[in-house]
Amino acid sequence: MATESTEKNVLVGVIGGSGLYHLDNLTLIEEVNPETPWGYPSSSIKICALPSGTKVAFLARHGNGHTLSPSAVPSRANIAALKSLGIRAILAFSAVGSLREEIRPGDFALPTQIIDRTKGIRPASFFEGTTIVAHTAFGDPFANKFVHWLEDRVRKVLEAQGNGVKLHTGKCIICMEGPQFSTRAESKMYRMWGADLINMSVLPEAKLAREAELSYALIATATDYDSWREEEGAVTAAEVFKTLTTNAETSRVVAATILDELHSAALEGDILTEEVGSMKYSIMPRSEKQKDEDREKLSYVLPEYFSS
């Protein structure tokens, strides 16, 4: 399926979260809406050109017009559709709550760890429902080299902007089911567990990107302090919305500054090859009990292993 890729030469996909429904300074080339074996993505994917001519793909996680709740985001279709376009790296954005005093609303963070508090209602594997079993390594849930590559670049952009937005690195994000926010007790418990940030969207997105052998990193943009601060009101959507617009503007500046270089890095393959080949020993060996139709389905995301 990665055949369209080199023709289109779109190597970097951006997933926009709450508040981030488009990027700046892009010329729309075409909108595509691939039907994958897991259905259609959240919205059509916009293939756009940066001022340099470099192409990137943009997908709004909750759909255009934010019609999909976090539990209803068709993450398998999203990741499969991006892979089918030839994407190698996904830069995802997310509005998150902060579980630490020093991560202030308006700050950005690059998490390196995840705690899963989703409730098992989101399909979280391409192998689910097939006769093929795979156990994907997920100890380092984000693409280490990619995250490291982003650190200096994102920090520089934020410093140059001069609005005092800080970048926090090496943080742990907890992904809850939602759509309701956490109770105060849960919020405090997550802090005790060592979580620094909270959202409702990084899973199963990150797991599926890894299964599809795509490099995935998340820029977490803090909107609130969740509900752990004794003297303060618990988080509300109204509070989140207050910071969402400014965070989205800053995210667009970050994207506009780094996407060209990210495309070059993906082309050269130096930082974004870590995940390629990672599924080779995760998939149980071929057996006659595996159904051909399942192999065919999986060839959409992993043609390297399942194309006959």
Ligand X SMILES: CSC[C@H]1O[C@H](OP(=O)(O)O)[C@H](O)[C@@H]1O
Ligand Y SMILES: Nc1ncnc2[nH]cnc12
Under the rule (CB under 6 A), what is the footprint of ligand Y?
Answer: 95-97, 176, 181, 198-200, 223-224, 226, 235, 240
Least distance (Å) from ligand X to the CB of residue 177? 10
CA dihedral 194, 196, 202, 207 (to 10 degrees): -30
Classify residue 117 by its DSSP letter. E
Least distance (Å) from ligand Y to the CB of residue 244? 9
| Contact criterion met (CB below 8 Å) for 287 and 294 | no
198 binds, among ligand X, ligand Y, none (CB under 5 to 8 A by kind): ligand Y
Q: Which listed range, 23-31, 48-56, 163-171, 196-204, lies at the site for ligand X (CB under 6 A)?
A: 196-204
Is 70 among the residues that bind ligand X (CB under 6 A)?
A: yes
State which residue has the least CB distance to ligand Y. Answer: 97
Classify residue 37 by its DSSP letter. T
Coil, helix or strand at residue 90: strand
179: cis peptide before it, omega within 30°?
Answer: yes
Complex with ligand X: residue 95 or 302, whichever CB lies closer:
95
Is 240 among the residues that bind ligand X (CB under 6 A)?
A: yes
Sequence-separated contacts (24+) of 24-32 with Cβ below 8 Å? 24/252, 24/253, 24/255, 24/256, 25/50, 25/51, 25/256, 26/50, 26/56, 26/58, 29/55, 32/81, 32/85
Is 247 among the residues that bind ligand X (CB under 6 A)?
A: no
Is 79 among the residues that bind ligand X (CB under 6 A)?
A: no
Distance CA 4, CA 69 (A): 30
224: annotated active-site residue? yes
226 binds, among ligand Y, ligand X, none (CB under 5 to 8 A by kind): ligand Y
Classify residue 44 by its DSSP letter. P
17 binds, among ligand X, ligand Y, none (CB under 5 to 8 A by kind): ligand X
235 binds, among ligand Y, ligand X, none (CB under 5 to 8 A by kind): ligand Y
Q: Closest Cα partner for 38 from 4, 75, 72? A: 75
The one catalytic residue in 116, 224, 270, 292 is: 224
CB 233: neighbour CB atoms within 10 A? 10
61 binds, among ligand X, ligand Y, none (CB under 5 to 8 A by kind): ligand X
24: annotated active-site residue? no
Which residues of the chain form contacts with ligand X (CB under 6 A)? 17-18, 61-62, 70, 94-95, 178, 199-201, 237, 240
Point out the residues that are catalytic: 224, 226
